[in-house]
Amino acid sequence: MELMDAIAARQKAAAEGGEVPAHHPEMLLIGCVDARKDPIDDLGIPKGSSLILRNVAALVHPEHEKRLTESAALAFAVRHMGVKHIAVMGHTDCGGIRAALEGISSYSLRDYLQPIYSLSEQVREDEDGLAAQRHMLEQEAVKYSVRNLRSYDYITEAEAEGRLTLHGWVLDIATGRIHVWDETADRFAPMVHD
């Protein structure tokens, strides 16, 4: 079915009226615009339980750069909704990560992805082969974004008071498995084991 037909078919099935569902999100998930995995259907996040911000490469810039969409989503989630968790979820085979590693053509993307581009220089020194570099950069970008969450005073404060926990995840787009950053050990490990 064509995309627009699929949307129209769903519209026909939608009932008139109905109740507004309750909204008590416990988490803000920051993910990539990549359309291959869906947080609700594929990750099993129940509807209404997590706010979701998606941008290219799940990137969080430092507060002083004044990226308004990121800042607004963080303020809304933490200050107004009082979420208990923020998860930055990068993913494998990310076009944003590839663009930073392999060269960026568009100016606006170059500006936006500049921090990942900077990280990629170190990754290129540390790892041989494009696949290994990409894998490492996916992880480094998530770590960078989690650290940048702490450039917001109210996030640092909430974390210090135990009201908020920050998570760094890399979603394997092939398997749907999430690898979690253990910040103390500085390594990624599967969220669950077989």
Binding site for Zn ion (CB under 5 A): 32, 34, 94, 96
Task: Give whichever of 73 and 171 is closer to Zn ion, judged by the CB atom.
Answer: 171
Smallest distance, Zn ion to C-beta of residue 91, A: 5
Task: Write phi, then psi, for 59 (nearest 5 degrees).
Answer: -90, 135
Smallest distance, Zn ion to C-beta of residue 169, A: 13
- Locate 14 and state its tokens: 């939608």
Q: Decide if 81 contacts 51 (C-beta within 8 A).
A: yes
Smallest distance, Zn ion to C-beta of residue 33, A: 7
Task: Give whichever of 116 and 155 is closer to Zn ion, judged by the CB atom.
Answer: 116
Smallest distance, Zn ion to C-beta of residue 106, A: 15
Residue 171, strand partner residues: 91, 178
Task: Give whichever of 39 and 96 is closer to Zn ion, judged by the CB atom.
Answer: 96
HSE (side-chain half, CA atoms, 13 Å) at 78: 24
Task: Give whichever of 15 and 35 is closer to Zn ion, judged by the CB atom.
Answer: 35
Task: Give whichever of 32 and 136 is closer to Zn ion, judged by the CB atom.
Answer: 32
Smallest distance, Zn ion to C-beta of residue 173, A: 8
Smallest distance, Zn ion to C-beta of residue 127, A: 19
Q: Decide if 145 contacts 59 (C-beta within 8 A).
A: yes
- Locate 153 and state its tokens: 């005073």
Task: Give whichever of 45 and 113 is closer to Zn ion, judged by the CB atom.
Answer: 113
